[in-house]
């Protein structure tokens, strides 16, 4: 009777271990597929990847908030994106090794060699050796079930490593393309980029430069949307300079396109198209990173700063109407995107750009570590 109870208990544990192991393997494979292969946003609530970033980014950002020096804070934040990517891949690998170890244990731990006893520790060691295709040979399976699991895990490990090797270059290529567009704003809109500078430097009606820039950013916003939905980890990758970011770049472009729709001589139609695409990007990315819209603290464009903006534009030959209708139109356009970029900026710990160039600001291209700031 006692032996029967023990056998029933042991059989129950084997079944439970097999179910858990199969669920772990299936769950990790699904996560890897959705993150690396599937080119669209996943809407289901429970995800290992989403939980990983949620519970690692918050404490990382909390530590960064307590660092007073900007360079040290940015250096710490810049580490998170690449490091989280490697840690996530390691988490997937450990999950698969653990899942297959449970399956081997449920199959009877028929792994022998080198004086090692039958135990879960031996199964875990053998699973890791098989997954990473080490082929140590000191432990071997001795039943059909164990051998079948070994073949499946070895093939899966080889495929997993190949998938990772193809995943990393794609992520870094997308990051590089994004940063090229962000860096181009340095000479075109100042550092940090502002709507007033973008208009004043490029609105010459003779060459259509502003229309071309807005057309480029319509495509850049679309590419940024698609790449960041497919690979959300890109959002955590910081720009090369502390005073640049993809959030600030999108915000400056949205500000400029909102102004263009009220200024005579501006490419209003192209501004509308770029505004629609950039606004689509920030709204969808706010959903991807779960950042509900919020009003920016403090307000980015007060009555006094609006008057200063109007004055600076007028000095450059651009007339921003002071009518109630024009101000209401600008306020309505701002309400369509400012709450979303404010939430993204708060989440990623970046500064939103002002509407016009601060007196102390200088473009990155004018500076050098050895020569100071250059003027023309």
Nearest residue to 284 via CA among 64, 41, 86, 63 = 41
CB neighbour class for 248 (10 Å; exposed up to 12, middle 13-18, buried from 19) = buried
Mean pLDDT over each residue of the chain, to the nearest integer: 86
The pLDDT score that the predictor gives to residue 182 is 93
Burial 166-198 (b: 16+ CB within 10 A, else e): ebeeebeebbeebbebbbbbbebbbbbbbbbbb
Please compute the mean of the pLDDT values over residues 178-205 and round it to a whole number.
89
Domains of the chain by residue range? 2-142, 171-373
Among 42-46, 284-288, 290-294, the range scoring the smallest mean pLDDT is: 42-46
The pLDDT score that the predictor gives to residue 115 is 55
Token duo for residue 31:
């996560």
Question: What are the beta bridge partners of residue 368?
Answer: 372
Q: Has residue 20 got a pLDDT over 70?
A: yes
Please check whether residue 228 is in contact with residue 234, taking contact to mean a CB–CB distance below 8 angstroms: yes
Most confident of 146-150, 206-210, 256-260, 370-374: 256-260
- Would you place residue 64 in the very low, low, confident or very high pLDDT band (cuts 50, 70, 90)? very high
The pLDDT score that the predictor gives to residue 8 is 42
Nearest residue to 74 via CA among 87, 63, 84, 64 = 64
Task: State percent of the chain over pLDDT 70.
Answer: 89
Please compute the mean of the pLDDT values over residues 332-337 and round it to a whole number.
95
Q: Has residue 173 got a pLDDT over 80?
A: yes
Q: Has residue 5 got a pLDDT over 60?
A: no
Q: Has residue 79 got a pLDDT over 60?
A: yes
- Reduce the DSSP state of residue 297 to 3 states and report it: coil
**What is the tens place of the pLDDT at every residue in 208-251?**
689 999 999 999 999 999 999 989 999 999 998 888 999 999 99
Angle formed at CA 102 by CA 100 and CA 105, multiple of 5 degrees: 110
Please compute the mean of the pLDDT values over residues 326-330 and round it to a whole number.
92
Q: How far is CA 112 from the centre of its chain?
A: 45
Alpha helices in 45-143 (DSSP H): 48-65, 70-106, 120-131
Please compute the mean of the pLDDT values over residues 77-91 and round it to a whole number.
93
The CA-atom distances, in angstroms, between 217 and each of 95, 212, 229, 276, 335 are 41, 9, 18, 11, 21
Q: Has residue 331 got a pLDDT over 50?
A: yes
Q: Has residue 374 got a pLDDT over 60?
A: no
The CA-atom distances, in angstroms, between 240 and each of 59, 222, 365 are 23, 22, 13
């Amino acid at each position: 009777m006692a032996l029967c109870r023990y056998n029933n208990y042991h059989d129950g544990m084997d079944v439970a271990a097999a179910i858990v192991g199969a669920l772990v393997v299936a769950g990790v494979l699904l996560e890897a597929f959705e993150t690396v292969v599937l080119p669209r946003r996943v809407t289901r609530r429970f995800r290992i990847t989403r939980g990983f970033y949620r519970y690692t980014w918050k404490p990382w950002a909390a530590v960064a908030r307590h660092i007073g020096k900007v360079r040290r804070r940015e250096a710490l934040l810049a580490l998170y994106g690449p490091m989280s990517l490697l840690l996530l891949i390691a988490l997937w690998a450990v999950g698969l090794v653990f899942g297959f170890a449970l399956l081997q244990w449920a199959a009877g731990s028929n792994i022998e060699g080198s004086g090692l006893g039958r135990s879960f520790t031996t199964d875990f060691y053998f699973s890791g050796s098989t997954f990473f295709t080490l082929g140590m040979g000191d432990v071997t399976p001795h039943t059909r079930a164990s051998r079948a699991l070994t073949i499946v895990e070895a093939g899966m490990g080889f495929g997993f490593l190949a998938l990772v090797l193809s995943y990393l270059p794609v992520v870094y290529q997308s990051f590089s393309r994004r940063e090229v567009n962000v860096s181009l704003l340095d000479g075109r809109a100042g550092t940090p980029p502002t709507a007033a500078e973008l208009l004043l430097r490029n609105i010459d009606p003779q060459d259509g430069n502003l229309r071309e820039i807005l057309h480029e950013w319509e495509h850049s916003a679309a590419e940024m949307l698609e790449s960041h939905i497919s690979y959300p980890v890109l959002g955590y990758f910081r720009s090369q300079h502390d005073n640049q970011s993809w959030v600030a770049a999108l915000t400056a472009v949205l500000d400029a396109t909102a102004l263009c729709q009220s200024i005579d001589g501006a490419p209003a139609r192209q501004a509308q198209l770029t505004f629609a695409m950039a606004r689509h990007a920030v709204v969808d990315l706010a959903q991807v990173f779960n950042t509900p819209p919020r009003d920016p603290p403090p307000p980015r464009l007060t009555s006094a700063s609006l008057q200063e903006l109007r004055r600076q534009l007028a000095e450059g030959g651009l007339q921003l109407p002071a009518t109630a209708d024009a101000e209401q139109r600008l306020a309505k356009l701002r309400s369509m995107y400012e709450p979303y970029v404010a939430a993204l900026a708060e989440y990623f710990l970046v500064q939103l750009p002002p509407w016009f160039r601060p007196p102390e600001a200088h473009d990155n291209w004018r500076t050098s570590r050895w020569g100071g700031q250059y003027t023309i």
